[in-house]
Structure 1
Amino acid sequence: MKFYKPKPRSILSFDVGIKRIGLAYCDPLCITSNILPAVKRVEDNKELKIIRNHIKKFNLTGFIVGLPLDEKGKMTPQAIDCMNYGQLLSNELKLPFSYVNEHSSTWESSNRFGIKKDKSGLIDSFAAKVILEQWIKEGPELEELAGKGQIKY
């Protein structure tokens, strides 16, 4: 499947983990990307308040969620959890979104940014930055409606 560079817009990127969610965002022209502090994943999804505040503060118009697929591009248990969280975000935030294959984004961020043995969530946010940079280069375009036409892995 071939993807094409998406149209520029301010995007929030999610690296969803079991304990934390790494966050990064880009400017409306997709020129610069910045990390935000990772948020702790809590019961009842109380982290959504923090996420909504970031969306409002930075005037973000869409989001992407990384899916940690395996080497063959197949779904993993963590990818299923990320997909479910993406659907929750879509239902709650009512913004266009897409999934991005984030295979090895944590490994890449560790090597690229020199982060080792991190428990603060910094590596998660840098992984979200890697996912965002990949999306800026390759897409796919965001979907305007929750779940409609999303890539099926």
Structure 2
Amino acid sequence: MTATKPSPKSMLSLDLGKRRIGLAGCDPLGITVSPLPPLQRKSFERDLKVLQWHCTSRKVEGLVVGLPLDAKGLPTDQARHYERYGQRLARALKLPLALVNEHSSSWAAAERYNLQGDRSGQLDSAAAALLLEQWLREGPELKPVHVAAHPVSQVNSDSGS
């Protein structure tokens, strides 16, 4: 599936993990992408409260969630779980969602920002920044979550930092 380059807008990108969620945002013109402090996961309700604060303060218009597809671009069990979690967050935040292939994003972020072995969460947020840069370049367009937000099988598998 070929993705369409989206129109720039203020976005929040999430690199989901079991312990942390890496966060990154961009300005409304999509010019500057910035890693944000990572979110230490506690519960869905607490995660949501922190994300609501970011969305309100940054005037976020949509979410980008990375899915860990395999090297062939096929969904993993973890990708299916993260897709459901991303949809749940997007519904709760009342924001449209874009899913992107995050294959190798942590490795690429570690190389780019010299964060090999990082356990502070900086690496997670750096990976979220790469996902957001990827989305700004390649899409896909945001989809409302009441519509199937492009199931894992339709994520642009050509990408993946």
- Distance change (3 Å), C-alpha of 1:130 and 1:30: same
Unaligned runs of 5+ in 1: none
Structure 1 residue 88, shift from structure 2 partner = 1.1
Matched, 1:12 2:37: no
Structure 1 residue 130, shift from structure 2 partner = 0.4
Secondary structure at 2:12 match in 1: strand
- Stretches of 4+ aligned residues off by more than 3 angstroms: none
Query: Take 1:50 and 1:103, find their aligned partners in 2: how far apart are those partners?
Result: 26
TM-score in terms of structure 1 length? 0.95
Secondary structure at 2:79 match in 1: helix
Aligned to 2:61: 61
TM-score in terms of structure 2 length? 0.90
Unaligned runs of 5+ in 2: 154-161
Query: Take 1:50 and 1:23, find their aligned partners in 2: how far apart are those partners?
Result: 11
Structure 1 residue 116, shift from structure 2 partner = 1.6
Query: Take 1:147 and 1:17, find their aligned partners in 2: how far apart are those partners?
Result: 24
Matched to 1:40, the amino acid is Q
Residue 87 of structure 2 contacts residue 97 of structure 2 at CA under 8 Å; is this kept in 1? no
| Number of residue pairs matched by the alignment | 152
Query: Take 1:64 and 1:147, find their aligned partners in 2: how far apart are those partners?
Result: 16
Residue 90 of structure 1 contacts residue 147 of structure 1 at CA under 8 Å; is this kept in 2? no
Deviations for 1:91-121, whole angstroms, at most 9, x for unmatched residues?
2101111101111100000001100211111
Matched to 1:141, the amino acid is E
**In percent, how many aligned pairs have the same letter?**
46
Mean alpha-carbon deviation: is it higher for 50-59 or for 127-136?
A: 50-59
